[in-house]
Amino acid sequence: MNRLINQSRALPAPEPAMTVAYTPICLEMPGRQPLELRLTAPAVGDALPIVILSHGYGPSNYIPSKDGYAPLVQFWAERGIAVIQPTHASSRVGGLNPDLPEGPFFWRERVAEMRAILDQLAEIERQAPAVAGRLDHERIAVAGHSFGGHTCSLLLGGRLQGENFSDPRIRAGMLLATPGRGGADLMPDYATRFSFFDVDFSGIELPTLVVCGAEDNPHFTPRGPEWHADAFYDAPGADALLTINGVGHGLGGVAGLDARETEAEDPEALETTRRLTLAWLRSMFSIEQDAWAKSQTALRANAASIAKITVKEN
């Protein structure tokens, strides 16, 4: 029982079940150090759908790694989803030397790391005996927070400088507090420094949920919080926009509790984020077809002050 929440309790979610976690799982990558992962999964059950979670480029030393995002990862895993977390090349604690040519952001290497996970799912299961044979390799989604959303937007079909980074093994995606349009939408200094933000989201045709904080004022652009919703408006596959009220980039605490990434720790907003993202995943993975519809109804009836869901009309 979470004594810190009230309205968000009305949003339906299954009761938590036991999980197992393996860390570090190490995958070989050519010409560099191994890629380290964390796998968190339900302790029982078969044909478990998979979410590969791409962390952001936040200010903390350890949260931008496989060891962050526990508030989100644990919640999903306790309710039927296997979550794989890489420590990306951009990580301070376990990434590559930031002085290398593509450093410190390593946006291409991050995409390559996500592909390495897809390529080596059998090896991941070999290193996680309690999960071996229990993952559904046909039901895979990617989810990314902040810079992780940039990584996932490319894998979902976003194009950068005309290049296509999509991967057919990915079935859906979730973009949380993701950078919006680059180029002319950025202030001149940032447009030069972050040329890789100039993503064309119009190639994203896979089902995608976009999640934003209503108070998430970016410092890269003169635009306001709506900048983070650009993928919803530009991507044909982005069918829903979830806006969490009263919080900014940390969405109430998805990256970690009591952390610098969490500029406003808000248990009610965090719980709403967790429950609604879970509902979308459960519907998208066909675990519970009407979970997303039920959650939208419950939000409107009991917790409308916390969040808003905007759905595209067909």
pLDDT at residue 304 in the model = 97
Res 164: pLDDT: 96
Residue 125 lies in a domain: yes
Instruction: Kindly write down the DSSP assignment for every residue of 262-279, as one continuous string.
Output: -SS--HHHHHHHHHHHHH
CATH number at residue 241: 3.40.50.1820
Q: Specify whether the CB–CB gap between 229 and 212 falls below 8 A.
A: yes
Each residue's pLDDT tens digit, 182-207: 999 999 999 999 999 999 999 999 99
How high is the pLDDT of residue 3?
93
pLDDT for 65-104, tens place per residue? 999 999 999 999 999 999 999 999 999 999 999 999 999 9
Q: What value does the mean pLDDT take over residues 258-262?
A: 78
Asked whether residue 2 is domain-assigned, the answer is no
Domain count across the chain: 1
Residue 314 has pLDDT above 80, yes or no: no
In this prediction, what percent of the chain has a pLDDT beyond 90?
Answer: 95
Res 268: pLDDT: 96
Per-residue model confidence (pLDDT) at position 264? 81
Whole-Å CA distances, 12 to 18, 49, 149, 207: 19, 20, 26, 22
Q: Across the strands, what pairs with 38?
A: 85
Backbone angles phi, psi at 279, to 5 degrees: -60, -40
Average pLDDT for residues 110-116, to the nearest whole number?
98
Q: Tens digit of pLDDT for each residue in 31-59?
A: 999 999 999 999 999 999 999 999 999 88
Residue 1 in domain: no
Residue 296 lies in a domain: yes
Q: Residue 163: left (phi > 0), alpha (psi -120 to 50), or beta?
A: beta
Residue range(s) defining the domain that contains residue 130 = 7-311
Quick one: tokens of 119?
């390529």
In a domain, 256, yes or no: yes
